[in-house]
A and B are shown apart, each in its own frame.
Chain A
Amino acid sequence: MTRKARGQTGSVEVASPSLVDLYAQMLRIRRFEERCAQLYSAERIRGFVHLYIGQEAVAAGLLANLTEEDAVVATYREHGHALARGVPMPAVMAEMFGRLEGACRGRGGSMHLFHAPTRFYGGNAIVGAGLPLAVGLALADSMQGRRRVTACFFGEGAMAEGAFHEAMNLAALWRLPVLFCCENNHYAMGTALDRSQSQVNLAVKAAAYEIPAWTCDGMDVTAVWEAARRAIAIIRGGGGPVFLEAATFRFRAHSMYDPDRYRDKSEIDHWKERDPLLLCGQLIHESGVATWEDLASIDASVCTEVDDAVAYADAGSLESVEDLTTFVLTPARA
């Protein structure tokens, strides 16, 4: 709702979003996912559902910097990225419902949202596997002389995977336009970062590949936006890939199945004090660009949007079983 690209080549500049826009974007994600949790409990949504609540500032802040030409590669915790990237909410919800009207005809579900019009390349549930893919997308852009950026989201858990290191190396070696965004929510499923990786300073790992790398506050949408803006400027300027760590926290369990035994409630409460919506709302209030009442009215319209998405999904149809094997290979080879 806020992205605007100016120009396809030469200098690419994206209009700065307003604080209210960023707030609204985060709230869309928050309300959408809250409804997902509810619908999951009511058995309307099944499978694995990984909620992004608490991390909304990362997707909202970073993706506000992309143009329509750019590409996004995300993880299985990608509802927020999809929504912030502009995948229509009804298509996302219908996908969660397994409906033909879903973004992927109900074949992908929560973990595999793809959307060609917004160049949203999933939706990848193999931890770390999206990184080489992002490298390839950037390679294609690089070889074809396009000044696009591929934004690749992954968690800190992925940084223990070989694919992370292979992708870092390739991207750096070939100076490819990838923004590697590590959303460090401090737990790889149930395993804390310091229990799984010898180097907990994540930016240092990326820097080992001669990649510019730094950390930002992943709970502050303005900080993420600013950090990403800087990173993308480097990338579009031909400076090769950038690594950005966004320190964040998920407020809910890993998935709907997760009893969340591995974290202290006090730790969660501590992070909730810095809820990105709270921080952003305070900033809006303090800066006077909008009132609490304005924000409440945004909330009301977001809730309507979610209601509409649910209604759309609910009214959706099921793909014919006869089409089960359609798109295993491209139909009707030409």
Chain B
Amino acid sequence: MTTYRDAIRESIRDALTRDDRVFLMGEDVGRYGGAFAVSLGLLEEFGESRIRDTPLSEAGFVGAGIGAALGGMRPIVEIMTVNFSLLALDQILNSAASILHMSGGQFNVPLVIRMTTGAGRQLAAQHSHSLECFYAHIPGLRVLAPATLADARGMLWTALEDPDPVVIFEHGTLYNLEGELPSDAGVVDIHSAAVRRPGTDVTLITYGGSLPTCLSAAEALAAEGISAEVIDLRVLRPMDDETVYESVCRTHRAIAVDEGWRSVGLTAEMAARVSENCFYDLDAPIGRVATVEVPIPYAKHLEQAALPGCQRIVDAARQAVGVHG
């Protein structure tokens, strides 16, 4: 059995081994072993130069990652949580994402930024948010959300080979996800969405930490005779619209599920795209299940009430197929 955490660590180890331009940089990635123990043991294996502890200066080390990428390296920059990444948002938006276009195609920024996202661990309002949509908003970035062991293992190398900046979101509740990963598990594409469960009545569109919830919801719906297809977007920017459209045009109903907030978020984006492109195939309004619009609270029951749980997804799917709960 392998965990998601192990799979990511293995992907980093693999990348460090394959390409000496690759290095890992971030707060407590070295001696500490990573805030979520992702890089545990890598310092001993690869040394301080390539497993580089940084001071608490997100703008500084993300900017340094951009510079290093411009200078020919293939940096993996780890930001402890997406909330902290806002301290580096200027660098990511104004430099990493902009330089290629702004320079008229002269300078690529082959940088990979990994960060933890999401709630569910009672970490309250400054460690729990899902701000993927902030990054998915930005032209010039690729935004990935591995939700499976295979993607955790395989996305990083593809991202490092990409000439453009890639942001990878790892949902905090996934690190302990366990499963079998084939010993030859390797690189995966970073442009397509994946159908994680086929179905015929309604499409649940989701990614990252909400994928397991959607799969549970699909199971519950199946018991009621509702066949839900579950799509894992995998890539939040640029989105693989075709997989989504193909599915929705078959099921004629769609529910967008995201742990981000509802307003102006990814569910809004998914719903807009589906309605723009699948309008005449829709047999019900597009449903949205997202996080209640509050800063994530500490108390467990409040935190859970805020998140898009299984029941809310089931209810939305029922409504879409015209069976009210």
The answer to A–B direct touch (Cβ < 8 A) is yes
In the assembled complex, the Cα of A136 lies from the Cα of B59 at a distance in Å of 12
The answer to whether A136 and B100 touch across the interface, beta carbons within 8 angstroms, is no
Q: Which of A108, A143, A150, A166 contacts B55 (CB 8 A)?
A: A166
Find the B residue at minimum CB distance from A100.
B104
Task: Known contacts A71-B71, A169-B55; decide if A129 and B61 are in contact (CB<8 Å).
Answer: no
Are A166 and B57 in contact, CB atoms less than 8 angstroms apart?
yes
A103–B107 Cα distance when bound, in Å, is 12
Q: Please determine whether B105 and A135 come into contact, CB atoms closer than 8 angstroms.
A: no
What's the count of A-B pairs with C-beta under 8 Å? 158
Does B285 sit at the interface, judged by CB under 8 A? no
Could you give 24 example pairs across A and B, Cβ below 8 Å? A71-B71, A107-B103, A114-B104, A114-B107, A116-B103, A123-B103, A131-B63, A136-B66, A136-B67, A136-B68, A136-B70, A137-B67, A137-B68, A139-B64, A139-B67, A140-B69, A143-B49, A144-B21, A144-B73, A163-B63, A167-B64, A169-B55, A327-B104, A328-B140
A77 within 8 A of B: no
- What A residues does B164 contact at CB under 8 A? 329-330
- Count B interface residues, CB 8 Å: 43
B67 touches A132 (CB 8 A): yes
Contact call A327/B100, Cβ cutoff below 8 A: yes
Enumerate A88-125 residues with CB–CB distance to B below 8 Å. Answer: 102-108, 112, 114-116, 121-124
Chain B residues positioned under 8 Å from A284 (CB to CB): none
In the complex, what distance in Å separates the CA atom of A143 from the CA atom of B22? Answer: 10
Q: Is the CB of A139 within 8 A of B104?
A: no
Most buried by A among B60, B62, B72, B91: B60
A interface, size bucket: 35 or more
Smallest CB gap from B77: residue in A: A136
Query: Is there a chain A Cβ closer than 8 Å to B275's Cβ?
Result: no
Cβ contacts under 8 Å, A123 to chain B = 102-103
In the complex, are the beta carbons of A104 and B103 less than 8 A apart? yes
B residues engaging A (CB < 8 A)? 21, 23, 49, 54-55, 57, 59-73, 75, 90-91, 94-95, 99-108, 139-140, 142, 162-164, 238
**A169–B60 touching, CB < 8 Å:** yes
Q: Does A270 contact B (CB under 8 A)?
A: no
B100 close to A105 (CB less than 8 A): no
Min C-beta distance of A90 to chain B, whole Å: 15
CB within 8 A of B105: which of A105, A124, A143, A162?
A: A105
Q: Contacting A329 at CB < 8 Å: which of B21, B63, B104, B142?
A: B142
A166 touches B104 (CB 8 A): no
Residues of B within 8 Å of A166, CB to CB, are: 55, 57, 59-61, 63
> Are B61 and A170 within 8 A (Cβ)?
yes
Q: CA A134 – CA B238 in complex, angstroms?
A: 29
Partner of B73 from A129, A139, A170 at Cβ < 8 Å = A139
CA of A136 to CA of B263, assembled, Å: 36
- Min CB distance B69 to A, Å, is 7
